[in-house]
Amino acid sequence: MTFPTLLATQARRVQARLDTALSELDDEPVIHAMRYALQGGKGLRGFFVLESAALHGIAPESAVAAAAAIEAMHAYSLVHDDLPCMDNDDLRRGLPTVHRKWDEGVAVLAGDALQTLSFELLTDATLGPNRLALISSMARAAGARGMVLGQARDIAAETAATPLTLPQITRLQAGKTGALFEWSATAGPVLAGADTGPLGRFAAAIGLAFQIADDILDVTGDATKAGKRLGKDADAHKATFVSLLGLKGAQTRAAALVDEATTALAPYGARADNLIAAARFVIAREL
């Protein structure tokens, strides 16, 4: 099975779990907006959950609620990130952003509901006795120690007197992008009560590579394939990995990070081949 096929297969598994959760909710505009926000993504974070679980002998049906939880949390972050008070984007995944299709109030509430749905999914008994550890780590990864902190630093950088330095951008993205990647890749060992070290190192490298690839695509990508506005960082004169390292330098750094990520998986041997394929996909993707 090719990696894109495998990724799509796992994404359908996760989407089915999300559909089940949403089917229990009332037929209201905010619920329609939640469903809308969850469609069309690659499902990479959910894939990491299922693959990290498989590495530790955990079947998909015993981990899919956690995979659905991270996709719900990610969708919430995108809905809020697109709002006029944040990035003010009109397109996401080739479709109007939630606040454009409905309005800002519905978008804020849909994002709020997706965030709380994430925690509800993590209470699923199928996740076993270590699910409380997943809930606790999700709170850290998504909140003021992780994604929210990264987003706050990103907003502050837009009006800073001087552009961010490379170490500052790296720290910012470790929260904004990397924290949820780390949660995803370490969900398997957390569920199994195993060492999170190798997959934590994998996730740290791949999360940064993912963001560098995004910065590269913002310069070189095709907006019709990306499904969102490109070139906005340059328009805003924001410091990025490309502006600081140059295009070639950013590409080289992303490739080196993928090498770091695959090296971190060495303890798992050939069983980690799917995660290695995912690491390579991160910098080869077109959107």
pLDDT digits (tens, 9 = 90+) for 104-114: 999 999 999 99
Q: Phi and psi at residue 92, in whole multiples of 5°?
A: -150, 125
Q: Phi and psi at residue 90, in whole multiples of 5°?
A: -100, -20
Q: What is the pLDDT of residue 101?
A: 97
Closest by alpha carbon to 44, among 275, 230, 251, 284?
Answer: 275
Question: pLDDT tens, 94-104?
Answer: 899 999 999 99
How many whole angstroms separate alpha carbon 240 and alpha carbon 7? 28
Coil, strand or helix at 117: helix
Structural domains of the chain, ranges and CATH numbers in brackets: 3-284 (1.10.600.10)
Tokens 């995108």 appear where? 78
Q: What is the pLDDT of residue 39?
A: 94
* pTM greater than 0.85 (yes/no): yes
* C-alpha 98, offset from chain centre: 18
Q: What is the pLDDT of residue 247?
A: 94
Say what percent of the chain tops pLDDT 70: 93
Strands 91-92 and 95-96: antiparallel
Average pLDDT over residues 68-81: 98
Give the model's confidence band at 198: pLDDT under 50 very low, under 70 low, under 90 confident, else very high: very high
More confident residue, 156 or 188: 188
How many whole angstroms separate alpha carbon 31 and alpha carbon 114? 9
Q: What is the pLDDT of residue 224?
A: 58
Q: What is the pLDDT of residue 159?
A: 85
Instruction: Supply the DSSP symbol for 164.
Output: P
Q: Phi and psi at residue 285, in whole multiples of 5°?
A: -70, 160
How many whole angstroms separate alpha carbon 281 and alpha carbon 264? 17
85: which 2 tokens?
A: 């008070």
Question: pLDDT tens, 158-182?
Answer: 888 888 999 999 999 999 999 999 9
CA angle 223–225–227, rounded 5-degree value: 65
Is the pLDDT at 154 greater than 80, yes or no? yes
Average pLDDT over residues 113-123: 98
13: Cβ contacts below 8 Å, ≥ 6 apart = 50, 60, 64, 67
Q: What is the pLDDT of residue 238?
A: 76
Q: Are 274 and 60 in contact (CB under 8 A)?
A: no
How many whole angstroms separate alpha carbon 205 and alpha carbon 151? 19
Task: Provide the strand spans (E) within the chain.
Answer: 91-92, 95-96
